[in-house]
Structure 1
């Protein structure tokens, strides 16, 4: 489809000169409308070709504000031409009938420049509108982020309420821990409960990922753990950890939330001083320190909530009179030196061997500036790439500084 021809208005007194000027302009297919006054031109006029003597001196500014204008004159010394130039008109042609091709080129160039200027003005208007819209969106986003932050902080407070008090001692075994989320909520969780005079139960969980979705799973773990304890009648202590992991595995698969966890569940028999336990892909493995020796608790197990119909091992380990049992989430590996996983695990073994308290291990990781999740306000120190939790059980005769 052909574009409509731009309409060129010619302003001059009626007569042969104006007619010749109009014919000169129209030779390249331009549409021309000749008039004596600006008010007589059609509204669709794209450009005005005005004779220098046809426009009063004071009218040039109003003309150029309305339409792009090319001035023609019979002499460079024409006083009216000089007046037009003084007000800013730089597009002019002297003796236009002799320079018709130049005149037509100037007309097309002026029309194109005016079109480009209009596009720039429209772009500036659109940009200004877009900036206003972006400011509104940014303000709305800041509001939503603030609400989300408040929700996360409230969730962190709820999660802290679900954790056991620490440090606490039950039947000669002391439990202490240090848990810091990567932001406000943690995918790590633990519990330590005295069942009766003989048994103490604890577990240590690291849910895949971190943040709100993983934290919700820790709340589910707490609920399922307490429900399962109410159903348990105290028989077959050695089977309880593995049975609970199997039950939890089914529950997580049934929820279909796409989350799994690594877990360690243990029951301490204070009468026989034995640890009955089961584990599900716990990494790093629990480390038992006795005297000048550190050993990994033996055993293997599948992650919880990942595969159906998994059986978890029933394991037992004799506890010496003095011991420290360390459990760490995999976030600690990010804080240890070493190019390989094995090097970092060996480094962790050396540190738990030399650190007799939780504070000393924390200090050795250079994380003393980061408050734990149990502190008011949650994590507010350095940002961590992953949730980090350390749990230490010590007994039966260990002295604590």
Structure 2
């Protein structure tokens, strides 16, 4: 049975039929309004807004059709059941076309059929209204989601621009040394980072870092790395006014290790860092759990530099060591993130690692040739962040 208080409107110019239908529906728990012609019916509908209208199609001069049209155009959610004389199906078809939800054939001898038709039309109307509400909620949710996505895209664009501004110029030359890099993020923001800068009149420093994970959280750590290295260099310059300062790669890795652990970001970094002494023509470097190792190209051949160390930001007791080598007059040194390994041919890690020095030698120690050999496309989505730093000296 319908909930009490559901209002219906019965429009029929036959007083006996109208009152008989109204009395039966009232016994069923409905609030029933009555109208004897189209004008009165439209007025009652306009002021009372019933949930359903039961309308005889033949209300003098066939005004029932016009009334159906006016009601359905005024409120499409209102159910309209039309009553038509037996055998006049063309009238029924026209009423349905105008928006009626159901029809009954006179004479209405069995009022139980009428009650079923009313319930069915009200159920359909409620479902239609509920579906509309659901669509509206979904549309609001979609608009909110679009706004959130726009904010996220704006945040990512701002973060991307910040990260680009933090990267050093490429290519960059200082004295006899040339630095050049390429960074290709797997997402909009990268967890890889490279940097190189002059430490003193006779020292150049550089590093390549690969933060665990992807996206904005990893990119945020690259901002910390930039800050930490700059801060450490500033403090050493402040402590020593001499032109030359002790900027050891192992100290940098140790400082970053302690800082990341204390920050409790849940992120760690693999790093390669080095300092070139232009006077002594030496390279001092330190490795923080990073693979592949640096690749040195000189004399037409390429090989890995040796060294090892724990990842940065994981172990409080981690110690980092400096390796020192003499630099030849002409050389190129390549530092790559582990995403490069996915671009190398081979079925095992050993085969892939063996391929990298070969590829660097084939490229004659140049960044452009190495990137071409790896098949890297800056416009193509990669499974991992990829960064390559090539530095060299031509006497």
Please show how residues 305-320 of structure 1 align to structure 2 within 5 Å: 305-320=313-328
Deviation, structure 1 residue 249: 0.8
Instruction: Choose 231-240 or 279-288, whichever is displaced more.
Output: 231-240
Counterpart-to-counterpart distance in 2, 1:12 and 1:195: 100
Among 194, 200, 204, which residue is 2:204 paired with? 200
The total of aligned residue pairs comes to 366
Shift in CA distance, 142/271, structure 1 to aligned 2, threshold 3 Å: closer
In structure 2, relative to structure 1, the CA distance for the partners of 1:352 and 1:126 (3 Å cut) is same
Contact conserved, 2:11 with 2:18, CA < 8 A, in 1? yes
Alpha-carbon spacing, 1:34–1:10, altered in 2? closer, same or farther (3 Å): farther
Structure 2 match to 1:175: 179
The 2-side partners of 1:282 and 1:202 are apart by: 15
Aligned residue for 2:158?
151
Cross-structure match for 2:115:
108
- Is residue 2:333 matched to residue 1:325? yes
**Bigger mean CA offset, 354-363 vs 254-263:** 254-263
Q: CA deviation at 1:197?
A: 6.0
For structure 2, the 5+ residue unaligned runs are 72-78, 96-101
1:256-282 Cα offsets, whole Å, 9 max, x none, are 222221111223344554432221011
Partner of 1:338: 346
Alignment CA distance shift 1:84-1:25 (3 Å):
farther
Distance 1:339 1:14, change over 3 A: same
CA distance in 2, matches of 1:344, 1:86: 75
1:217-273 per-residue CA deviation (whole Å, 9 max, x = no partner) reads 333323322332344458999992222211221112222222221111223344554
Residue in structure 2 matched with residue 187 of structure 1 by the alignment: 191
1:242 and 1:126, CA in 2 relative to 1: closer, same or farther beyond 3 A? same
Specify the SS of the correspondent of 2:370. Answer: helix
Give yes or no for contact 1:18–1:34 (8 Å, CA) kept in 2.
Answer: no
Could you tell which deviates more after superposition, 269-278 or 303-312? 269-278
Structure 1 partner of 2:382: 384
Asked if residue 268 in structure 1 is aligned to residue 281 in structure 2, the reply is no
Q: 1:92 aligns with which of 105, 108, 120?
A: 105
Is 1:119 aligned with 2:132?
no
> Is the CA contact 2:200–2:244 (under 8 Å) kept in the aligned structure 1?
no
With a CA cutoff of 8 Å and minimum separation of 6, indicate the structure with the bigger relative contact order.
1
TM (normalized to structure 2)? 0.73
Q: Distance in 2 between matches of 1:262 and 1:60?
A: 82
2:227 is matched with 223
CA distance in 1, matches of 2:257, 2:51: 79
CA distance in structure 1 between the partners assigned to 2:271 and 2:178 by the alignment: 20
Q: Deviations over 1:192-234 (max 9, x none)?
A: 3444565433222222234443333333323322332344458
Deviation, structure 1 residue 141: 4.3
- Distance of aligned partners of 1:154 and 1:12 in 2 relative to their CA distance in 1, 3 Å threshold: closer
Describe the SS at the equivalent of 1:144. Answer: helix
Structure 1 position 286, deviation (Å)? 1.1
Give the Cα separation in 1 of the matches to 2:21 and 2:197. 102
Residue 171 of structure 2 corresponds to residue 166 of structure 1: yes
Is residue 5–residue 29 contact of structure 2 (8 Å, CA) maintained in 1? yes
The unaligned stretches of length 5 or more in structure 1 are: 371-380
* Secondary structure of the structure 2 residue equivalent to 1:247: helix
C-alpha distance in structure 2 between counterparts of 1:222 and 1:82, whole Å: 82
Q: How far off its partner does 1:300 sit?
A: 1.5
- Tell me, in whole angstroms, the C-alpha distance in 2 between the residues paired with 1:8 and 1:197: 95
CA RMSD between the two structures: 4.4
Q: Residue 305 of structure 1: CA displacement? A: 1.3
What whole-Å deviation, never above 9, does each CA across 1:140-181 have from its counterpart, x for those lacking one? 346525533541343134223xx25533144x4433322333
| Secondary structure at 1:308 match in 2 | coil
**Alignment-derived partner of residue 252 in structure 1:** 260
Distance, in Å, in 2 between the alignment partners of 1:229 and 1:24 is: 94
